[in-house]
Amino acid sequence: MDEVETGQNAAPAQPERAGDILRKARETQGLTVADIGTRTRVPLRHLEAIEASDYSTLPSSTYAVGFSRAYARAMGIDEVQIANLVRSDVAKMGSKKPEYEPYEMTDPSRVPSRGIAIVALGLAIAVLVLVGLWYGTDMFRGSSNSSTTTPIAETVPNPAAQTAQPVPAPATPADGQVTLTASDEVWMRVYDADNKTLYLGTMKPGEKFDVPKDAKDPKINIGRADKLAVTLNGSAAPALGTGERAIKDVRVGAPAIAARIAGTPEPQYTPSDVETTSTRPSDRARPMRPRTQRPRMSETQRANLDAAANPPSAATATPNP
């Protein structure tokens, strides 16, 4: 009888809470709360509240259920069962106005402190102010009326001044190789200052002649200068003549051809049929005498001159008395 009464008076066993189940599973696996926080990315204070079944510190029942399910999943426990137990415990606490606290998925120890956040915010505001001053005012750029500002007219280059400057011609070596190339049949003679013939004959189309570099002031006589191409180290030079007449005594040395390429050529040709006009020595030697003005004659002088030029005849002469 006593045993029956004792069994009837025994208090019923309390159901195990979700927090106890999760804590025992963690301790069984030898893990710490920090290890669970690393796996679930749930703040440590929320994990500790779940293990203590103190859901009042969580923002809302939704957060409580969600964090508990993540905890159970990390431990390999039936998360549906844990979620139902958490809902039951939260319902016993009564309705709670949800707090709009952001979902913190990182460890609070890794979150910057409030002082650092305030300093960062202050720096961001300062940068925004400086940007506004730069674009909104002329504090940093300076006023356009400042004496240190260079006038636009002084900085803009003058196109007329630039075009007035001559463009220097590319430098051509004055001791290079002069090559004469015929584009058609052309007769020519190349000789030096001592009248020594370096080349004499008719060149065929495409034939070339290299003027010796050591030749002393070489010159050329040619019938059709327009049929001869002249180059200095491969650089083409202006034609020696137009081909309208034969030319002679034209310098074809490297300095002369370089001067042609540079734009300051010597006379292109010397006509072979130049006619020189001769003048009489007497004309050149005759001095120019100044003209003198003769005095005017009187009427008496003129009558005497006429009488002397026309003397009276004997028949008309009057005898002396």
Alpha carbon distance 239, 230 (integer Å): 7
pLDDT at 278: 39
pLDDT average, residue stretch 282-299? 57
pLDDT per residue as tens digits for the range 138-172: 655 555 554 555 544 455 555 555 555 555 455 45
pLDDT at 4: 44
pLDDT average, residue stretch 36-61? 87
**Is residue 266 predicted with pLDDT exceeding 80?**
no
pLDDT average, residue stretch 8-34? 78
**Is residue 273 predicted with pLDDT exceeding 50?**
no
Buried b (16+ CB within 10 A) or exposed e, 246-285: bbeebbbbbbbbbbbbeeebeeebeeeeeeeeeeeeeeee
pLDDT average, residue stretch 289-304? 64
Residue of higher predicted confidence among 109 and 19: 19
Alpha carbon distance 29, 253 (integer Å): 103
pLDDT per residue as tens digits for the range 163-219: 555 554 554 566 789 899 999 998 999 999 999 999 999 999 999 999 998 888 999
Residue of higher predicted confidence among 264 and 309: 264
pLDDT at 283: 45
pLDDT average, residue stretch 27-40? 90
E-assigned strands of the chain?
A: 178-182, 186-191, 197-203, 208-211, 219-222, 228-232, 235-236, 247-251, 270-271
- Of 247, 252, 241, give the one whose Cα is nearest residue 217: 252
| pLDDT over 90, % of the chain | 19
pLDDT per residue as tens digits for the range 230-255: 998 988 988 888 888 888 889 988 89
* Arithmetic mean of pLDDT over the chain: 74
One-letter identity of residue 162: Q
Buried b (16+ CB within 10 A) or exposed e, 194-223: eeeebbeeebeeeeebebeeebeebbbbbb
| pLDDT over 70, % of the chain | 60
pLDDT at 55: 83
Determine the 3-state secondary structure of 197 from DSSP.
strand
DSSP annotation of 236 reads: E
